[in-house]
Amino acid sequence: MTNIFFQNGMDNTSKQAADSANLIAKATGQEVGLIINKTGGLKSDLLEYPPETLYLKDALNGEVYQQIANNGNNKNLIIMHSAGNEDARKSAEILALNNANLNNNIDFISVGSPAPSTNSKPPLKKMA
């Protein structure tokens, strides 16, 4: 069975992320884990996303991805919403800088990305 995780986006509270995960759980019939980037409100959240700047949260997300990839299950899915897509892209950059590999144990689905998929596919492919 595939482990499913939901990664939230900007201006999205923990409760809203949990509500989204619950909708996914109802549709799939299984529990959904959460990868949450706490919101400080839209203005504060926007300041977290300057182009081409890597932050500690990107490294932390990369660490979470590595833990998921090494959880003993070779089928894991992360559903990224909104700015969660950018979090994944930047985490992929960090993982590539560290020569880390997720051993093809995680698939990613992009939902409601503010950026074209061409921006995230190459970095995500590198960390597979």
Please name the amino acid found at residue 77: L
Tokens 């994944």 found at: 88
> What are the angstrom distances between the C-alpha of 30 and each of 44, 96, 112, 121?
33, 31, 22, 27
Q: Spell 13-35 as b/e; 16+ CB within 10 A means b.
A: eeeebbebbeebeeeeeeebeeb
Q: How many Å is the maximal CA-CA distance in the chain?
A: 39
**Mean pLDDT, all residues of the chain:** 87
**HEC states along the chain?**
CCEEEEECCCCCCHHHHHHHHHHHHHHHCCCEEEECCCCCCHHHHHHCCCCCCCCHHHHHHHHHHHHHHCCCCCCEEEEEECCHHHHHHHHHHHHHHCCCCCCCCEEEEEECCCCCHHHHHHHHHHHC
- Render pLDDT for 79-102 as a digit per residue (tens, 0 to 9): 999 889 999 999 999 999 999 989
Where along the chain do its domains lie? 3-127
- Render pLDDT for 20-37 as a digit per residue (tens, 0 to 9): 999 999 999 999 999 998
pTM given for the model: 0.85
CATH of the structural domain 3-127, one choice from 1.10.1060, 3.40.50, 3.30.110, 3.30.1540? 3.40.50
Residue 70: its pLDDT value, please? 93
